[in-house]
Amino acid sequence: MRLIAGSSNPQLATEVATALGVSLVKIASNIFANGERRVKVKDDVRGQDVVILQSFSSPADQQIIEFLLLTDALERMGAKSVEAVIPWMGYSLQDKVFSPGEPISAKVVADLVSNSFVRRVVLIDLHNTSIPAFFSVPTTHISAEQLMLEYVKDHLNHKQTVVVSPDFGGLKRSRQFAKQLDVELLNINKHRDLQTGKVTEVSLQGDVKGKQVILYDDIIVGGSTAVETAKLLHAEGAKQIYFLATHGLFAGGALDKIKSAPIEKVVITNTIYHQTLPHNVETISIAKLIADEVEFWK
């Protein structure tokens, strides 16, 4: 088995390669003066099983094109098979038609991957668990939940902890997390403008006074949910607030918002690479989880 690191997250790919005990395939990836992507696989992979690790993170369009060009190059070189690990699937939040005239963008991306020289795909903590059905090749959907549970058990006082669902959409996920920890689950009612995405009103159902509060979600995008929820919980007397999410997109000014919010710690995994993060943002590695899944394919 060989592993290729796309340009989106070579650090994670290196960790996965180390966990698997394999070397990374040497590639070249750059952009022509006219803006087109150019890739080249430098190592001989004929007759070998190859795994590509590529997050479809910003700039998502470039990362997707690079991934597709790599799969084509591997097919032409005579690779035995190509399997894909997509730690963060860009466009996955566009999983339905929200208003007339819109595409189902997640389905478009799934079709692009399925129609390439890829026989299997690993996806991680999708916002909508029905998305794997968009692919016409076998998919495996894995979760970082166990990593987050271990973090909580190692860092928080179990007897003073409650889980709060940041919104109705995350209630099922938060309920499962609270059940695994055997702690109380509280809920926040949140109203969002569907056109602008702005949170307009939040209210808490339950008591958090003197408690360590865990907000558990799959993704942080613009930071509004994390910040507004933290402000409400702080006003309600929460002792400490932890926001746990698998994917940290941190779009726009999200990191600036989080840096000044009353949040003890934001905990994410390294599905998306960030060169620098504020002091209150901690990253835990998902490499071993990915390596275990890839190892299972052998």
Q: Just list the catalytic residues.
A: 190
Three-state SS at 179: helix
Of residues 270, 281, 266, the one with CA closest to residue 16: 270
Three-state SS at 49: strand
Q: CA 90, 94, 100, 101: dihedral to nearest 10 degrees?
A: 10
Report d(CA 211, CA 205) in Å as an integer.
14
Using an 8 Å Cβ cutoff, are 74 and 41 in contact? Answer: yes
CATH architecture for segment(s) 2-143+287-297? 3-Layer(aba) Sandwich (3.40)
Q: Which residues contact 4 (CB under 8 A, 6 or more apart)?
A: 13, 24, 25, 27, 41, 50, 51, 52, 53, 70, 74
What radius of gyration do the chain's Cα atoms show?
20
CATH architecture for segment(s) 145-270? 3-Layer(aba) Sandwich (3.40)
- pLDDT reported for residue 194: 60
Of residues 191, 187, 215, the one with CA closest to residue 202: 191
- pLDDT reported for residue 201: 56
Q: Is the pTM of this model over 0.75?
A: yes
The tens-digit pLDDT sequence of the chain (298 residues) is 999 999 999 999 999 999 999 999 999 999 999 999 999 999 999 999 999 999 999 999 999 999 999 999 999 999 999 999 999 999 999 999 989 999 999 999 999 999 999 999 999 999 999 999 999 999 999 999 999 999 999 999 888 999 998 776 778 889 999 999 999 998 887 666 666 656 555 678 788 999 999 999 999 999 888 888 899 899 999 999 999 999 999 998 899 999 989 999 999 999 999 999 999 999 999 999 999 999 887 6
Amino acid at 9: N
Amino acid at 117: F
Residue where the block lists tokens 């994390």: 226
- pLDDT reported for residue 196: 61
- pLDDT reported for residue 189: 73
Positive or negative, the CA dihedral 49, 54, 60, 63 is: negative
- Every domain of the chain with CATH number 3.40.50.2020 lies at 2-143+287-297, 145-270
Which 8-state DSSP code applies to residue 33? T
- Expressed in percent and rounded to 5, the helix, strand and coil fractions of the chain are 35, 30, 40
